[in-house]
Amino acid sequence: MVHGGTPLRGEIAVAGAKNVALKAFASAILTDEEVVIHNVPLIADVHCMLDVLTSLGIKVDINGHTVRIQSKSLKSTTVPLDVGARLRTSSLVAGPLLARYGAARIPNPGGCRIGARPIDRHIRGLAEMGAEISYHPDDGYFYLRADTLHGAGFEFEKNTHTGTEALILAAVLAEGETVLKNAAAEVEVDDLISLLTGMGATIKRTKEREIVIYGVKKLHGVEYSLMPDRNEEVTFALAAAVTSGDVLVHHSRRAHLGAFLEAFSSAGGQYEAVDASTTRYRQIGPIKPTDIVTLPHPGFMTDWQAPWALYMTQANGISTMHETVFESRFSYVSELRKMGAQIEYYDPPVKNPEIYYNFNWSDRRSGYHQGIRITGPTPLHDAVVEIDDLRAGATVLLAALTAGGTSYIHGVEQIDRGYENIEERLRKLGARIERKKEDEI
Residues labelled catalytic: 112
Instruction: Compute how many other C-beta atoms are within 10 angstroms of the C-beta atom of residue 147.
Output: 11
Is-contact 170 100, C-beta < 8 A? no
Smallest CA-to-CA distance from 71 within 111, 112, 100 is with 100
SS3 167: helix
**Phi and psi dihedrals of 409, rounded to 5?**
-110, 120
Rounded alpha-carbon distances, angstroms, from residue 188 to 19, 21, 172, 226, 230: 7, 9, 17, 9, 9
196 contact partners, CB below 8 Å, separation of at least 6: 27, 30, 168, 169, 172, 203, 219
Measured at the CA of 392, the angle between CA 165 and CA 421, to 5 degrees, comes to 80
Please, what is the end-to-end C-alpha distance for the chain in angstroms? 9
CA distance 319 to 312: 6
CA distance 191 to 189: 5
Instruction: List strand residue ranges (DSSP E) for 113-200, in order.
Output: 132-136, 141-145, 153-155, 177-181
DSSP letter at 344?
A: E
DSSP letter at 411?
A: -
